Chain A
Amino acid sequence: MSAGSPAADGAALRVPRIATGFRLQWEPAQNAHVLLYPEGMVKLNQSAGEILQRCDGQRDVAAIVAELEAAFQTAGLEGDVRAFLAIALQQRWVQEA
Chain B
Amino acid sequence: MPLAAQQPAPRVPPGPPLWLLAEVTYRCPLHCAFCYNPVDYARHGDELGTEDWLRVLREARALGAVQCGFSGGEPLLRDDLELLVAEAHRLGYYTNLLTSGVGLTEARAAALKAAGLDHVQLSFQDSTQEMNDFLSHTRTFDLKQRVARLIKAQGWPMVMNVVIHRLNIDHIGRIIEMAEALGAEYLELANTQYYSWALENRDQLLPTREQLRRAEAVADDWRRRLEGRMRLFFVAPDYHEGRPKKCVNGWGSMFMTVTPDGIALPCHTARMLPGLEFPDLRKTSVQHAWQESEGFNRYRGTGWMKEPCASCDQKEVDLGGCRCQAYMLTRDAEAADPVCPKSPHHGVVLEAVRRAEAGEAQAHPLVFRDPKASRRFIADGNARSLPGCGG
- Where the two chains meet, the residues of A that have a C-beta atom closer than 8 Å to any C-beta of B are 1-2, 20-21, 23, 25, 27-30, 34, 36-43
Contact = CB atoms under 8 A, between A and B. Distances in A.
Contact of B228 (A1, A21, A25, A38): A1
B5 A43 contact: yes
Interface stretch (B60-68, B105-113, B377-385): B60-68
B185 interface: yes
Interface string B1-17: 11111100000000110
15 contacts: A20-B155, A20-B157, A25-B92, A29-B16, A29-B64, A38-B1, A38-B185, A39-B1, A39-B67, A39-B119, A39-B159, A40-B1, A40-B2, A40-B3, A41-B5
B118 interface: yes
Interface of B: 1-6, 15-16, 18, 63-64, 66-67, 69, 92, 94, 96, 118-119, 121, 155-157, 159, 185-186, 227-229
Contacts of B63: 29
Contacts, number: 68
Given A23-B94, A29-B16, A30-B16, A39 B64 contact: no
Contact of B96 (A2, A30, A38, A43): A38
A42 B227 CA distance: 20
Nearest to A21: B157
Given A37-B157, A38-B185, A2 B6 contact: no
B267 to A, nearest CB: 15
Contacts of B118: 21, 23, 36, 38
A42 B96 CA distance: 16
Contacts of A39: 1, 67, 69, 96, 119, 121, 159
Nearest to A29: B64
Contacts of B159: 38-39
A30 B64 CA distance: 8
A38 B121 contact: yes
A1 B1 CA distance: 23
B254 to A, nearest CB: 9
Contacts of A21: 118-119, 156-157, 185
B63 to A, nearest CB: 7
Contact of B67 (A2, A30, A36): A36
Contacts of B121: 38-39
A41 B67 contact: yes
A55 B380 CA distance: 59
Contacts of A2: 227-229
Contacts of B227: 2
